[in-house]
Structure 1
Amino acid sequence: MTDRQTYRKGPVFLRGTQIPRQTSDASLLSATERSDWLHADPWRVLRIQSEFVEGFGALAEIGPAISVFGSARTKREDPAYRLAEEIATGLVRSGYGVITGGGPGMMEAANKGAHEAGGLSVGLGIELPMEQSMNEYVDLGINFRYFFARKTMFVKYSDGFVVMPGGFGTLDELFESITLVQTRKVDSFPVVLVGREYWGGLVDWIRSSLLGSGMIASQDLDLLRVVDTAAEAVEYVVAGAQRIRPTSPE
């Protein structure tokens, strides 16, 4: 029997004619959606609520953890893949679990590093138009329908963010976290960018364009730290995390 495409929608998986044309997020945010769902689908609000309840229930007792973000497209032979593994290993040895988006690429690398080091390896998956299954190194995995519920879990249960090279999704996670810190919606947890060659141009643009035009304050630049090595990334994010949660992780 040939492999069939599998589509994950929260805890449910679908195949064949059951695969929807839109994700749950896309349907919710569609400007053209009619009001029929208020009558035909009265459980939508409860489904959203259930994602928060399930996420809080699964993650409430995971202990200190750091989120690692990065591209799903990174190949295993890429040096950055190995670097993400090393960072995750270092975080586990420092007493932290590792949280990722649960997919392939950089996420797989970080989950692998955490899992093989004997630490907690968490994956927060998301419903996407293309299948992105949970990688094999995730020990605790949750699949979400809605990005906003998933993002809440990243922020609520992380003591810091490590940002590996990535695309639009990684940038979204990066700037949302910085905005939350800048506006004091969350404690000033550490955000470290790994790879000066990759991130240097972005940081230069932030300095020259945003700061240069008065769109941000000079102290906002301190919200970002750029490093090149696993040791630097672990040292910075752990030191920052321990300032927020002073008790040493067990």
Structure 2
Amino acid sequence: MTTQPMPGPDDLPEGGGAATDPTRDQPQPEGWPARSGQDYYKGPVRLRGRRVPEETTDERLLRNDGKSEFVHTDPWRVMRIQAEFVEGFGALAELGPAVSVFGSARVREGSPAYTYGLEVGRLLAAEGFAVITGGGPGTMEAANRGAQEARGDSVGLGIELPFETGLNDYVDLGVNFRYFFVRKTMFVKYARGFIVLPGGFGTLDELFEALTLVQTGKVSHFPVVLMGVDFWSPLLEWIRGTLVEEGMIAPGDVDLVRLTDDPREAVRHIVENPARGARARPVG
């Protein structure tokens, strides 16, 4: 039996030959040239007309003209994003019970917020929790410092920003990310709870994303603690007086957070309301 060769691109009728072209419904191998009016396939994607590229994928791949635009295309970004997830999962998979601590990068040592972070980090480590922060200065540094000084696991998840100076000196396990959403996935995935210190837009973003995930059942119902009564009370009053009153959230949604000035109460709330799995084992 003689096998007939598959028609090549020069065997196709002009204009694509919709009625007589025996290969019109078959994807063309990637790299074939395409005449105007023919279907051009890039994997599962079909292109026609002006969208047919002037160069094949192989030509672009083998071209050595010093250009690197391909590393800025969306398909390439997908690979970068995938790589960031793999790196993050690989680095944190064996971390054990952890709590994410959020807060401002702008506060200085000696401020109330810094003191909160320092004490929270120490107490969490004493209870057997790893402490995960954004790895920056301010309250993040304080929580990492407290965990490290208590001989606990101190983790920093950094982010690529033009004004960031890198991970603070108290991070023992650090991972840097390009993409906020990958980084925030790590904060949630590996945490048994959240302690939120005073902070700005970034802190609010992390807080409300966490509350949304809990409210909608995307993650286990786990404890969220706000540290700083004077700082957070106006926000909670607005939530009760506006969001609840206008029917935007259920009255019980306000109970997703615990407000306190006491680091011991904050950590105790985490310990007594474990999100999933076994309780952390206290150090010593």
Regarding TM over 0.5, the answer is yes
Residue of structure 2 equivalent to 1:126:
159
The superposition leaves residues 164-218 of structure 1 with CA deviations (integer Å, 9 ceiling, x where unpaired) of: 0000000000000000000000000110000110000000000000001010111
Q: 1:39 to 1:200 in 2, by over 3 A?
A: closer
The superposition leaves residues 141-186 of structure 1 with CA deviations (integer Å, 9 ceiling, x where unpaired) of: 0000000100000000000000000000000000000000000000
1:237 Cα deviation after fit? 1.6
Give the letter aligned to residue 92 of structure 1.
Answer: A
1:1-250 matched pairs, under 5 angstroms = 41=73, 42-241=75-274, 244-249=276-281
Tell me the distance in 2 between the aligned counterparts of 1:39 and 1:166: 35
Tell me the distance in 2 between the aligned counterparts of 1:39 and 1:77: 44
Partner SS state of residue 75, structure 1? coil
Tell me the distance in 2 between the aligned counterparts of 1:80 and 1:151: 22
Q: 1:142 to 1:248 in 2, by over 3 A?
A: closer
The superposition leaves residues 80-129 of structure 1 with CA deviations (integer Å, 9 ceiling, x where unpaired) of: 21121111111111110100000000000000000000000000000112
Aligned-residue CA RMSD in angstroms? Answer: 1.6
Tell me the distance in 2 between the aligned counterparts of 1:248 and 1:108: 23
Percentage identity across paired residues of the two chains: 60
Residue of structure 1 equivalent to 2:15:
none
1:44 Cα deviation after fit? 1.9
Tell me the distance in 2 between the aligned counterparts of 1:87 and 1:248: 15
Partner SS state of residue 225, structure 2? strand
Q: Which structure shows the bigger proportion of residues in helix conformation?
A: 1
Higher relative contact order (CA 8 A, sep 6+): 1
Tell me the distance in 2 between the aligned counterparts of 1:109 and 1:161: 16
Tell me the distance in 2 between the aligned counterparts of 1:112 and 1:247: 23
Tell me the distance in 1 between the aligned counterparts of 2:259 and 2:208: 15
Unaligned runs of 5+ in 1: 1-35
Partner SS state of residue 244, structure 1? coil
Residue of structure 1 equivalent to 2:4:
none
Give the letter aligned to residue 263 of structure 2.
Answer: A
Partner SS state of residue 273, structure 2? helix
Q: 1:247 to 1:233 in 2, by over 3 A?
A: closer
